[in-house]
Amino acid sequence: MKFASPLLVVCDMERSRAFYREVLGLRVISDFGANITFTGGVSLQTKESWEDFIHKPAGGIAFGGNDAELYFEEDDFDAFLGRLEFLGGVEYVHPPQEHDWGQRVVRFYDPDRHIIEVGESMRVVCRRFLDEGMTPQQVAKRTQMPERFVKGCIK
């Protein structure tokens, strides 16, 4: 068996398509009208067709459960945050934060209140700490990454 794709149910396909294109830079690779697939494998399905597929009445689909997320990584995290500010209208789950292991992340909602997390790639986190003068051993301890991985991040 092979996992194929996460699928999110959406109320307005065009609004969601625009969001994933403009905010996350994804491109549509398959478009079947009620279902589209983006680069990276994320698929969207219209709420009406999903209700039919799983035999639920109108209103039988709940949004905003805050129990799952789609996770993306970004090498230029500051530029991404700038793009979010420029686009405006994004509802944040929380403002940008830095985890104990040094990775900066931000979480926000898509138009149907699915959580999206964008995190700084761990290669970039390791490079940032190395550039600040930390030794590979210190970076490995701080980031919880293997020292071999950290050494591979040295420019």
Amino acid at 62: A
Residue found by looking up tokens 């970004």 in the block = 74
Closest CA to 114 of 73, 149, 71: 71
- Return left, alpha or beta for 26; rule: phi > 0 is left, psi -120 to 50 is alpha, else beta: beta
State how far the Cα of 151 lies from the Cα of 155, in Å rounded to an integer.
9
Residue range 104-132, pLDDT digits in tens: 999 999 999 999 999 999 999 999 999 99
- pLDDT band of 58, cuts 50, 70, 90: confident
Average confidence (pLDDT) over 83-91: 92
